[in-house]
Amino acid sequence: MGLVQFDFKPSIIKNFTNDSTLEEQLINILRIADVGIESVNLKPIPENEKQIIEHIINTSDSESRLFFQQRTREMLSEVKFKHKVDDILVEFSDIYESAGTLKLIVLLEKIQLLAFNLGYLLIFDEIELQLHQNLIAYLIGLFENPNQNIEGGQLLFSFHNTALMEILQPNQLWFTEKNDQGQTEIFSAADFTDIKDIQQRNLEELYRIGRFGAKPRAL
């Protein structure tokens, strides 16, 4: 179990390119996301840049040298994304990719390596930041697919965009609300057994009209 940090680095791409199945899945999802990426690969940095890094390491004090040595593996490679522009493949480094694209790649790596392969519970805070609602729905679908989620990994995420309620089932949607004593109470939409046919109801609409509570009191 762990709260996922969104720190994109070359080793993430290496984890995909070392496994042809994972690499194919990554490219397929990036195509579904419609970000225009046709392929992703790692390339060694130019020799002159490598020499500069080695010089910095060799001339640094012991504490700084340790810092750089621990990060050398990341620094000696750069990620290249190929985009199709007018039927021509154009190569870009990761610094030109959107934060949403990089976040999606980090998510996919953690989901595959930790949740699907090891059965971990992954926790994402405010998952909707920089990600389209349809992509989040796609990721949830991966967790619900036993052919993908072989080890039964679980996904727990928070969000503030109420539109995401549309892609969840009542037993998947949980609310938090502070009581008069300042304590946080947790309850599920499925607890509202008095709502007729809740499985077929629009959960976002029910929330907006105050049926579930869990709203700021000023509102």
Burial bucket for residue 37 (CB in 10 Å: 0-12, 13-18, 19+): buried
Residue 182: is its pLDDT beyond 50? yes
Band of residue 5 on the pLDDT scale cut at 50, 70, 90: low
- What's this model's pTM, rounded to 2 decimal places? 0.75
How confident is residue 140, by pLDDT bands cut at 50, 70 and 90? Answer: very high
> pLDDT band at residue 162, thresholds of 50, 70 and 90?
very high
* pLDDT at residue 151, as a whole number: 94
Of the pLDDT bands very low, low, confident and very high (cuts 50, 70, 90), residue 2 is: very low
Give the model confidence (pLDDT) of 35-91 as tens digits. 788 888 888 777 787 777 777 777 777 777 666 666 666 667 888 999 988 888 999
**Per-residue confidence (pLDDT) for residue 122, from 0 to 100:** 93
Comparing 217 with 86, which gets the higher pLDDT?
A: 86
Q: Where would I find the beta strands (DSSP E) of the chain?
A: 2-3, 37-44, 77-85, 88-93, 121-124, 154-157, 174-178, 184-188
Structure tokens at 73: 């593996």
CA pair distance 205, 54, nearest whole angstrom: 59
Per-residue pLDDT, averaged over 164-192, amounts to 92
Output the pLDDT for position 144. Answer: 93
Q: Output the CA–CA distances (angstroms, integers) from residue 188 to 77, 111, 127, 133, 195, in the order listed.
A: 46, 24, 19, 21, 13
Distance CA 143, CA 150 (A): 9
Find how far residue 123's CA is from the centre of its chain. 10
Would you say how long the chain is, in residues?
219
C-beta of residue 17 within 8 angstroms of C-beta of residue 77: no
State residue 6's pLDDT score: 63
Q: Which structural domains are found in the chain, ordered by start? A: 2-160 (3.40.50), 165-208 (no CATH)
Percent pLDDT > 90 in the chain is 28
Does residue 169 carry a pLDDT above 80?
Answer: yes
